[in-house]
Amino acid sequence: MALDERLRRFQATPPACRVGGAVSNSWYARYPGDYGRDTAHLSMIEHGAYGLLLDHYYSTAAPLPADVAALYRICRAFDQSEREAVDCVVSQFFDLRDDGYHNVRADMELVKRNEHHKRLSTGARKTNEKRWNRLATRSATRSALASPQPQPYPQKETSKSVPAANPAADTREFDAFWEAYPKKLGKAEARKAWVQQFCDGHLGEILASLEAWKTTEQWSEPEFIPFPATWLNKGRHKETPAMEERSNGNGRAKPESFDEKRRRESAAAISKMHNRAVSVVHQVDRHLPDASSNGDADGDLRGSIVRSNPRTN
């Protein structure tokens, strides 16, 4: 939009309806270079009169009154020289129109300031609207959280449902299993596993499998016996331990127990000691062909060593 059209609209707006009226117009832009170029010929009194008129123009955001006496009052011009200075400034820098005296540069600056205030006002209004909308949303959310509405709970679908059997029958069969199991730890978990594994009605098969597991080497040591719930949940009651006796289930031999390892290492150490003793006897025989002639003690020692090793007999 051209500056002339903006100026025309600004002048057509009543002063009371203009953005940045007399209350907020406490300052205005002053350009010393432009001012000095246009007013270099003015006297000191004329400079003072021009400054007072511009202050009134910008502070009211309206043209100066057409009444000359009012202009004298604005500039505090009381003697003749001061009034002549006012008349000189008004005649050079102001144009008389229907609504009063206008200054072209002042009107341009007022238009710019009015548009700047509008932009600031619009931006502030949008910012406030966003803030209030955000606060309203938070308040509504807090209110909803403070008084939640009852919601229907979705029904959980189970892959398999536990049948509702006779509680007395369940207790009797489980009690029989519990009495037969060698490690009585975690009865509540074992009871839950019994129901989840559908063990009702299969007590005979479970007890037969349990007796077979008791004969395995693994169960010969109490610390390796699994908990009842673990045994049931892993389905061991449906398996036969015959293969477990011979292997670990992967075709490899089972590791020997601690006692077996200790017995094997002791036998190996004893055999090694005997072999060393026999080697010493053979060395004595080579150096002393007739060991018995050197004394009964050496002969008895050789005979005792040889007789103690069954491999030399």
Phi/psi of residue 18, nearest 5 degrees: -80, 145
For the CA atoms of 221, 223, 225, 229, what is the dihedral angle to 10 degrees? 170
Tell me the residue length of the chain. Answer: 313
Give just the sign of the alpha carbon dihedral 33, 38, 41, 42.
Answer: negative
Tell whether the model's pLDDT for residue 285 goes beyond 80.
Answer: no
User: pLDDT tier at 158 (50, 70, 90 boundaries)?
Assistant: low
Which pTM does this prediction carry?
0.36
Domain-by-domain residue ranges, the chain? 3-117, 168-246, 258-312
Predicted confidence (pLDDT) per residue in 28-62, tens digit? 888 899 899 999 999 999 999 999 999 999 989 88
pLDDT at position 21: 46
Predicted confidence (pLDDT) per residue in 128-154, tens digit? 888 888 888 877 777 767 666 666 666
d(CA 284, CA 94): 146
> What single string gives the DSSP state of each residue in 189-244?
HHHHHHHHTT-TT-HHHHHHHHHHHHTSSGGGSGGGSPPHHHHHHTTGGGS-SHHH
List residues bridging with 101 in a β-sheet.
Answer: 64, 96
Indicate the pairing of strand 100-102 with strand 95-97: antiparallel
